[in-house]
Amino acid sequence: MNSRKEYFESFAEEWDKYFTAEDLEYLSFLLDSFNIKSGNKVADLGCGTGVLFDYLRRKVGSDGMVVGIDFSKRMTHRAKRNFPFRNCVVIDAEAEHLPLRDKSFDMVISFAAFAHFTDKQKVITEAGRILKTGGNLHILHLASSKELEKHHHQVGGPVAMDHLPSFEQMMLMFTEGQFANVKITDHPGLYLASAIRQ
């Protein structure tokens, strides 16, 4: 087990407590702009305990599906326990190696997790593989890239060096993953990189 994984395992029990009602309201506001439709199949990479699940499962409805992926078994255990619904599935896996079929998803979201992924190009390529043509990838953090870098540095330990790639690096990674229409917002309180699978 690598140390970053152990790090997140150690936070699983208390993770849910970190989100305030204000955070959840802001998240809902941001997710509204993703235009998730009833019947959609949405993957949540680095889903943790499932903070997005309540919003997502209501949007996709009974004909859709939310699939959360996380490499921390304690996080996924809680996510499964928190959301025992037919339209919510949680898988213990690395975002770099998704045990999911090609072209089977309408949307891939990664919230508060992308900065922690070891091989970011692989994650984007995997997201591209599982997305249908025209499907959307959204990489979201509630902090700018600079704020996040500073935060992880202060937190220290295995995440001390975790950061978001530069604008240029992200553009290259999206191109390599066969994405286009890339939009990157990076300002205090928000990092959002969105792109469409070609």
Ligand X SMILES: C[S@@+](CC[C@H](N)C(=O)[O-])C[C@H]1O[C@@H](n2cnc3c(N)ncnc32)[C@H](O)[C@@H]1O
> Which residues are near ligand X by CB under 6 A?
8, 46-48, 51, 70-72, 75, 94-96, 111-113, 116-118
If the CB atoms of residues 75 and 127 are measured against ligand X, the closer one turns out to be 75
User: Can you list the pairs that 176-185 forms with residues at least 24 positions away whose Cβ atoms lie under 8 Å?
Assistant: 176/121, 176/124, 176/125, 177/121, 177/124, 177/125, 177/127, 177/128, 178/128, 179/124, 179/128, 179/137
Tokens of 140: 């979201």
If the CB atoms of residues 47 and 108 are measured against ligand X, the closer one turns out to be 47
Minimum distance of ligand X from residue 160's CB (angstroms) = 14
Report which residue's Cβ sits closest to ligand X. Answer: 48
The CA distance from 128 to 177, in Å, is 6
If the CB atoms of residues 55 and 117 are measured against ligand X, the closer one turns out to be 117
If the CB atoms of residues 43 and 170 are measured against ligand X, the closer one turns out to be 43
- In single-letter form, the type of residue at position 144 comes to S
The CA distance from 65 to 39, in Å, is 7
Minimum distance of ligand X from residue 164's CB (angstroms) = 13
Minimum distance of ligand X from residue 180's CB (angstroms) = 25
Contact (CB, 8 A) for 56 and 24: no
